[in-house]
Each structure stands twice: as C-alpha cells, then as structure tokens.
Amino acid sequence: METSFSPEVWQEDPVPEQYQFCERCELCAQRARMIWGEGSPNASILVILDNPGLRENQEGVSFVCGTRQALQKAAFNAGLGMQELYVTYILKCRPVRKYDKEGARNTCKKYLRHQIEQTKPAFALCLGNIAVQTFFEDSEAEVKNLRGLWHSIGDLKVLASYHPLAVRRRPNLRKYFYEDWMLLAEAYRTWKESGILPL
C-alpha cells in the first residue's frame, strides 16, 4: 500500500473575502499571502498545524512541502485522504522573522474557532507542541504526554501527535505518529458506521 503513495497538492480552501486583508497581528507585514486551509472544507476530521509551510517554489509553481508530504503519507497509510481531511493552521500567515508568538497565536486562533463553528467537524488531530499548547490553551502541554489518548474540547474529539517535520527529522517518532493516525482512522470509521464516538 505504502509503495503507491505519492504526495499531491491538495485543493486549497480560499480565504473568505472578509478576512483576506487581515491586519490583526504583525504577521500581516511578513506574509507572502494568507492560507486558510486545504483538503475538504466540510470534512469531519480537522488537522491542525502551527502555521503554513512553503507552498510555491521561486517560479510560483505549487509543490508539497516536507511537512505536508509526511502528513499525507501517514494519512494514506491509515486509509485517509483529502476527502476525509481538512488541514488548517493556528496562524494563517507564514512567519519569516521574529514576532510576538503568543500575541499572534492568541489573535489568529479566533479564525480557527470560527472555522470549527462553521463546519462542526467531529474529530481534530493537533500536530506539534505549538499547535497543542495553543489549541488546548495550556502552555505546559506536550505531545509526548497527551498522545495516544482521546481528549474532548468543546464538541470535538481530539488527538495530539507529533509535528510531521519533527517526524521527518527524528525517524524514531514515526512509529508513534503512524499509531496516532491509525487510532484516528479507526475511530472515524467506527463513527461513520455506528455513530459512536470515542470516550
């Protein structure tokens, strides 16, 4: 199964018109553009990363960055794909220099809340300590302590796992990363078949 995997540019979800020129934090001066999300906007599984990675090369041609390649591969191995997933970010702009991290995250996560209210996914997979700390609203939270267990945040059933880039850099994390994706996929299939959510 794994041998036939090949990364692909997932369909990008355009930024809603009313937010396209957001200047709520200093990242508006750093961004090349805003990224709202990619995949299926009404998917039942929301995947949350810290911020967008590179999406276009110097000629402006779209490509799949290392983070998204690792993410897509784990999803593929778990039997999930673009139809079941929507990937979005704590920050909708990609930082390129120093900035007030806490201020920007606290400001921009309002958009994430808005997305969740609009689309009402059943599951969320939060990847990396930054996304976990912001989404769980706990500055001490760490993936290594939270992963492998279901958490409830509002109406969402949430899993935490490692950032795909960390998995690329530290292959010993891959086993746990893949386990977390399998846990998610199994719970998703159970829910689709019987309506039962994990405890």
**Is residue 46 close enough to count as binding ligand SF4 by CB under 6 A?**
no
Residue 34 tokens read as 């805003």
**Is residue 27 close enough to count as binding ligand SF4 by CB under 6 A?**
yes
| Interacting residues with ligand SF4 between 92 and 151 (CB under 6 A) | 92-93, 104, 107-108
Q: Which amino acid is at 7?
A: P
Among 7, 9, 12, 22, binds ligand SF4 (CB under 6 A): 22
Residue 145 tokens read as 């302590």
**Is residue 25 close enough to count as binding ligand SF4 by CB under 6 A?**
yes
| N-terminal to C-terminal alpha carbon distance within the chain | 30
Q: Please, which residue, 93 or 187, has the CB nearer to ligand SF4? A: 93
**Is residue 64 close enough to count as binding ligand SF4 by CB under 6 A?**
no
Nearest to 43 by CA among 163, 185, 182: 185
With CB under 6 A as the rule, give the number of residues binding ligand SF4.
13
Q: Which amino acid is at 184?
A: L
Residue 145's alpha-carbon distances to 102, 123, 142, 162, 199, in angstroms, are 22, 19, 6, 11, 18
**Is residue 28 close enough to count as binding ligand SF4 by CB under 6 A?**
yes
**Is residue 35 close enough to count as binding ligand SF4 by CB under 6 A?**
no
